Amino acid sequence: MEYNVIYIGSGNASWQGGRFLRKAGLKVLIIEESLYGGACANRGCNTKAILDGPYEVKALTDNYDGAGKKGNFDVDWNELIQLKRKRIAGMSLFLDGKFDEYDLDVAHGKGVIVDEHTVKVGERQFTTDKIVITTGLKPVVPDIPGKEYLHDSNDFLDVDELPKHAIIIGAGFVGMEVASILAEAGLEADVIIRGDMALKYFHQPYVQRVIKVLEEKNIRFHFNQTVKEVINNVKIDNPEAKVNNAIQGINANEDLRDPDSKVNNIAYENGFTVNCESGLSLTGDYVVAAMGRTANVEDIGLENVGLTYTKSGIKVNGHLQTDVPNIYAAGDVADTGIAKLVTVAIHQSKYLAKELLGEADEITYPVVPAVAYTIPRIATVGVPAYVAEESEEYEVHTIRYGKSYSAVLKNSPKDEAKVIVDKDLQIVGAEIYAADAENVANMFAFIINQKITLEELDYMIYTFPSSSSVCLYKLHNIHYKF
């Protein structure tokens, strides 16, 4: 069959723009090997939001200890995970219906590029004018002894029972967000970090605050450590293993990660040991590999058209075009130098629709807000504070709106923002530490992108009480130089 555009991958980087191409009369095919909608819809953003939400509420209720709180807010993980599965199970079917509504053709299976104009799915071959690669990223699995005992974020976000003592390798988005859930659940974790920073793209003083909160809740951090092996401490042929007579004769190779495993209870007792090159040795009942993600491009035929890639993805130019003129890449799999976020993927997908219709110049980006959904949240947008602090072009102003308005802000006195302004006192960046940092970050993104001045902000009237209104009100200190 012949198409104008074929997308390999069905996430936001494809269909968000593909629907506009179809509306313009182009014939579009979306190929998907797994679930329609990709990682964000089925294994990432939506799943994390459902599972994180109740723990966020729990943390907010804890703000009222000694200030009117009576009783405890407890989260039932088993009930929560069932709710997550029920809601997420319908996402792929929902999107399949949307593709039908948009009149987008779909082919289920692995898309393999045969040549510059041909893509194969199983035994079927499709020809096309343009190919767009939108296969996203996949979790990094370190090549170390015992790697088969590692779990990725997909596993953790679908586990039947939270581990009593997890070992988390990595302290990026996934590692720190997993640690936050375990902390609020009253469980233990050890976080192993290869370097000397967690969440390295965020304002480090705020990261340190998050770490302190987690440390107070039985989460331990080990910096400058490199993992060399993971050992399964439960071995049937090991006389020192605490295996009772009831399970003698079980296959020694049984997968202990299976929740139905007959030796699962022993895994909790004896666990897994993670050894580091420094000599650090940690034992827990569940090991999470949160070491980042890499381009998901293996076995899709890049070599057939001479395309190469790095862990950052497939190199593209300012038109999201690869070295092969009629092949493009968008979303997380594209190496653009821009943050790999679903919001960026949507932006690129919509741009690419215009590009393929001949209606666009090179892609441009507004400022991109990013949030670490730790508890509490931290966010960054625009010029970062560390850049501003090293330049004479900017000023950094700390807005402690939580301290000033804690009584009306859910008793959260530590909420604050660092606002970066240029020499004309135009806001160009912000760092936020707050329970609702994601919303405050969106507010600053709008201010920065629209170049709204402090004088204009001071003129406006806002709803009160709200975190945005009190944060904005405190900006008058910058405007009037108080």
pLDDT tens digits along 347-398: 999 999 999 999 999 999 999 999 999 999 999 999 999 999 999 999 999 9
Q: Between 91-101 and 77-89, two packed helices, what is the crossing angle to 10 degrees?
A: 20
Are 108 and 212 in the same domain? Answer: no
135 pLDDT band, cuts 50/70/90, is: very high
pLDDT the model gives residue 252: 43
The whole-number pLDDT of residue 245 equals 39
Average pLDDT over every residue of 125-130: 98
Give the HSE-up count for residue 434: Cα atoms under 13 Å, Cβ half-sphere. 31
CA distance 34 to 44: 14
303 and 411 co-located in one domain: no
Model confidence at 233: pLDDT above 50? yes
pLDDT band at 218 (very low <50, low <70, confident <90, very high): very high
Q: Looking at the domain assignment, is residue 204 inside a domain?
A: yes
State whether 285 and 416 are in the same domain.
no
Instruction: Note down the domain range covering 425.
Output: 376-479
CB 331 within 8 A of CB 345: yes
Residues 123-135, mean pLDDT to the nearest whole number: 98
Tell me the residue type at 301: G
The tens digit of pLDDT for each residue in 79-93 reads: 999 999 999 998 888
Per-residue model confidence as pLDDT tens digits over 390-432? 999 999 999 999 988 887 788 899 999 999 999 999 999 999 9
Per-residue pLDDT at 39: 83
Whether 79 and 191 share a structural domain? no
Q: In sequence order, which residues have a C-beta less than 8 Å from that of residue 364 and are 6 or more positions away?
A: none
Mean pLDDT, the chain, as a whole number? 91
pLDDT one-digit tens code per residue, 266-296: 444 569 999 999 999 999 999 999 999 999 9
Q: Are residues 284 and 351 in the same domain?
A: no
Report if residue 260 sits inside a domain.
no
Confidence at residue 242, expressed as pLDDT on a 0 to 100 scale? 44
- Residues in contact with 296: Cβ distance below 8 Å, sequence separation at least 6, in sequence order: 135, 136, 137, 138, 333
> For the domain that residue 156 is a member of, what is the CATH number?
3.50.50.60
Report, in angstroms and rounded to the nearest whole number, the Rg of the chain calculated over CA atoms. 25
- Residues of the chain with pLDDT > 70, as a percent, come to 92
- 298 pLDDT band, cuts 50/70/90, is very high
Averaged pLDDT, 235-250:
44
Is the pLDDT at 6 greater than 70? The verdict is: yes
Query: What is the reported pLDDT for 477?
Result: 81
- Quote the number of domains for the chain: 3
325 and 384 both lie in a single domain: no
Report if residue 121 sits inside a domain.
yes
448 to 314, 393, 416, 473: CA distances (angstroms): 30, 16, 18, 17
pLDDT tens column, 461-473: 999 989 999 999 9
